[in-house]
Amino acid sequence: MTPLPYDHRLRVLDNGLRLATERLPDSKSVSFGIWIESGSRNETPEQEGMAHLWEHLAFKGTRSRSALDIAKALDLFGGQSNAFTSREHTCFHARVVDRHLPEALEILAELALAPTPSEDDLAKEKDVVLQEIAMVEDDPEDSLMESFWQATWPGGSESHSILGRPETVRGFSLKELDAWRADHYRPQSMLVAAAGGIDHEAFHELAARLFGSLERGAAPEAPPAGTFAPVRSLKERDCEQSHVTLSFEAMGATDERRFTLGVLNAILGGNMSSRLFQEIRERRGLAYTVYSFANTMRSQGILQLYAAVEPERTGELLEALRGELTRLAGGDVTPAELEHARDHLLSVLYLSLESSEDRMSRLARNHLLLGRFVSPEETASRFEAVTLEDVRELAAAILNPSRAGLGILAPGIDPAWAEAFNP
């Protein structure tokens, strides 16, 4: 497949901050993001939740704009603006009509780089985050997934909660938060990405004016990484269903086998025609919700499954899950399944190209993880190159049921469930 002539640029400012842009000539919108390579993995256990709390506090106002001023200005632009925190990144992002780009970028740059929250702001946002934590705990699926993820990486920075723990969030002071932010919001750990109807040079000049004065300096290294542990976590809770998750050690987002992992996940539980959906929901009627997904960081990751079932049928679900995993690990993958999974992934890829938001996110992640622009055609060719033997080898390597981590949250616990995935 001959690559199309994508109009992209990369510029690195003198202080180390990266600017990545992609021009979409037919687009009247621009999506941009200010990406900081700091998230929950960059916190010590006592700091859990700082990156996420700063994401909230940034919108509370700056020296020249109040929180209301910021909200009104962004609303008038008619676009969308938000922020998110992950384990390895914090991102402030927006989508606006192209003519509003200068004003929108200036506002987000100011709130990301020079927020001025008050003690009252901090108290209020602590309460908001504590409500977020409570919402996760109230939802059995979210609660299981969060607690199980933390147990999967004992002692490692991967296990840190993105939202934080109630005791850490309550204890933060503005002085401590300012110190963490000053250490981690460094230009060499930042990338500003934009995709849409932009002029490269004009955007670079604007970004250089807004970010060029940042003092050069590397952010501190993240705390030590942990290693995957196939834990057994069975907890009793007053709920209507048994919530079940399984995890297998996989690979990170920069591993060359990530394309094979994508194909394997699509076959296993990544869509409605997948093994798990067809067997667990369509044929057996065991669960309304059943899926799998690759949960990856830069250099580590897991392949995870989830299903919810009537408590009395939990054993049947575990047996069905083990059966499908055993068959896949034993090489039971057909050429037709490979072709279908590949076509599905290519469709998802090309549909995402119609969104300037997806283009911006793709542009940023490829530069952050791989250090370069990656064309959609290159990605497509990597999926097309995955062979049946590749999928079978990876399934054999990672889907051994006896090496699965198992988490269950249910109104009653049968001790026999813990044995379902033992050798």
Contact partners, residue 295, CB within 8 Å, separation at least 6: 149, 247, 301, 302, 303, 304
Strand partners, 84: 91
Using a 10 angstrom Cβ sphere, with 0-12 exposed, 13-18 middle and 19 or more buried, the burial of residue 307 is buried
CA-CA distance, 295 to 145, in Å (whole number)? 11
Catalytic one among 43, 48, 55, 125?
55
CA-CA distance, 89 to 38, in Å (whole number)? 5
Contact partners, residue 77, CB within 8 Å, separation at least 6: 94, 96, 97, 100, 103, 104
CA-CA distance, 304 to 246, in Å (whole number)? 6
Residue located via tokens 């299981």: 144
The H or E element spanning position 90 is: strand 90-97
**What phi and psi, each to the nearest 5 degrees, are found at residue 127?**
-60, -40
CA-CA distance, 31 to 223, in Å (whole number)? 32
Sign of CA dihedral 133, 135, 136, 140: positive
Q: Mark whether 389 is an active-site residue.
A: no
Q: Where does 139-173 have alpha helices with state H?
A: 140-152, 166-171
**What phi and psi, each to the nearest 5 degrees, are found at residue 392?**
-65, -40
User: Which residues belong to the active site?
Assistant: 55
